[in-house]
Each structure stands twice: as C-alpha cells, then as structure tokens.
Amino acid sequence: MNHEIYRRYLQEYIQEAIENSNGSNAEISSYLWEKNLGRILISNKTEKQRALADARRAFDDHRHWPRKIILSHIGIENPETED
C-alpha cells in the first residue's frame, strides 16, 4: 500500500464529507457511509478502500469528540474547511 496516496484520499474523503454535510460529526459520518467507491476496476483501490474505512471508523468511534481532535487523531492537521 502506498501511504502517500492513502493520506491524500483520506484527506479528500473527509474534506468532501465536511463540505457536503452540516459539519456535525454525525452528518460527516453519515455522508462517509453513503459514499460508494463505485467501479470494479479503479486505480489505487486498496488505498481508497482503506482511507474510506478509516475515515468512517474515526467519525463513528469518536462522534463525541470535537472535529479538530478527530482530525488530529487520524493525522489530518489543517484541512481547508476546518472551523
């Protein structure tokens, strides 16, 4: 697994979830669970699946934490839409 690609997808999925939700952890989690990777033959499939699973798990397991702490916990320090 390429960790650089994984980190990029993790950042992208969380950023997309924040932008397409009301910003609450519950809404972010819900958006991530609705996200479907789609096609059978996709490039970087392992990295994409792992990034999406880790993002889902972080927002499911730690819904009561402030978003800033969740993002820091998974290694995303400064997302563009961070409050």
With 0.75 as the threshold, say if the pTM is over it.
Answer: yes
* Nearest of 11, 22, 20, 21 to residue 58 by alpha carbon: 11
- Give the separation between CA 3 and CA 26, rounded to whole angstroms: 27
Q: Which residues of 43-78 are buried (b: 16+ CB within 10 A; e: fewer)?
A: eeeebbebbbebbbebbeebeeeebeebbeebebee
- pLDDT at residue 2, rounded to an integer: 85
**Which amino acid does the sequence have at 46?**
T
Token pair for 63? 């819904």
Each residue's pLDDT tens digit in the chain (83 positions)?
888 999 999 999 999 999 998 988 999 999 999 998 877 777 888 899 999 999 999 999 888 898 888 888 888 865 554 44
**Which residue do the tokens 């490039």 mark?**
43
- pLDDT at residue 83, rounded to an integer: 46
